[in-house]
Structure 1
Amino acid sequence: MPNNTLTITFEEYSSFDELNTTDQELCNEAIKAMSTSHSPYSNFRVGTALRLESGKIVFGSNQENVAYPSGLCAERVALFTVGSTYPNERIISMAITAQTDKFQITEPVTSCGACLQVMAEYEKKQSYPIEVLFYCQNGSIIKTKGIKSLLPFAFAESRLKK
């Protein structure tokens, strides 16, 4: 049985100042998106900003519910907003950030598996990679050039279309 190796590629920046101005702007927009977070149970606010090909910025924030499975992550809120409001626009990039009053976040917060799967679906739909920035306001930033680096074995069953 062969042993395979999987390698992913990402960029890591030690500070906000190392980002180009376009990425800085998107990270700042993700901070703004956190202001609409409804997170009274976890007090863990997440904001996402998506940049569309037209230049429009679309926001998403986590929306909790007392029935925990009924909530939704910021990434999916933003992606589903694009899907329902701008279905023919290409998503160029997205920035995700988080904040809590309970502790200091010192590493980038990455997306959950469900969000990664939805990102992969949108990337497949538009046949174009989505650049993702995981922005830690008090630390480093991780940047990928597509979802395959984050979820290399995304579920993609082409026979379901038939």
Structure 2
Amino acid sequence: MKEINLATKIAVYLLEECSEMEKKLIEAAKEATKNAYAPYSGFRVGAAVLLANGKIISGNNQENAAYPSGLCAERTTVFFANASYPDQKIVAIAVAAWHNGCFTDDVITPCGGCRQVLLEAENRFKEPMKVLMYGNKGVYMLGSAKDLLPLSFGDEMLK
């Protein structure tokens, strides 16, 4: 038997320690939670991406009574950014969540489907995308979407 160990490096920051651009992106994700449509879960998630051209695009989760017809904030945002600016790579994404009247204390992490979509967006331009996950207690920062999904399925497997 052979064993493989996987490790992910996560930098943990206080919001005050983030760069001005990172703070701006996190604030855009937090602001996006206000427009989430989450009447069933009450869990409002916002995401914001920074494109290579400097534009920030934000989105949020959109629930539907017919589960799983809704869509997560990360996918809503990435799909909108790719549809609107197909030639612009995503440099970074920030994610935040509002629940029970306040932002979550712990960071909010993308679900499995969103991790795969982030990886695809990263692979599309062959450059890593910084991932910022916000919580009141701090910000988790990853250097690449691959760090979220180390044993990922990619286009190379389809060849």
| TM-score under structure 2 length normalisation | 0.95
The residue aligned with 1:6 is: 6
The residue aligned with 1:142 is: 140
| TM-score under structure 1 length normalisation | 0.93
The residue aligned with 1:80 is: 79
For residues 103 and 17 of structure 1, the distance between their equivalents in structure 2, rounded to whole angstroms, comes to 19
Give the drift of 1:106: 1.7
The residue aligned with 1:26 is: 25
Supply the RMSD in Å over aligned alpha carbons: 1.4
- Size of the aligned set, in residue pairs, is 159
For residues 8 and 104 of structure 1, the distance between their equivalents in structure 2, rounded to whole angstroms, comes to 25
Deviation track 1:45-72 (CA, whole Å, cap 9, x = no partner) reads 0000000011001111000001010000
Give the drift of 1:8: 1.1
Structure 1 vs Structure 2: percent identity of aligned residues? Answer: 38
Give the drift of 1:158: 2.7
Give the drift of 1:33: 1.1
Unaligned runs of 5+ in 1: none
For residues 25 and 103 of structure 2, the distance between their equivalents in structure 1, rounded to whole angstroms, comes to 22
Give the drift of 1:125: 0.6
Runs of 4+ residues over 4 Å off in structure 1: none
Secondary structure in structure 1 of the residue aligned to 2:68: helix
For residues 157 and 140 of structure 2, the distance between their equivalents in structure 1, rounded to whole angstroms, comes to 34
Secondary structure in structure 2 of the residue aligned to 1:81: helix
Unaligned runs of 5+ in 2: none
For residues 145 and 88 of structure 1, the distance between their equivalents in structure 2, rounded to whole angstroms, comes to 21
For residues 62 and 139 of structure 1, the distance between their equivalents in structure 2, rounded to whole angstroms, comes to 22
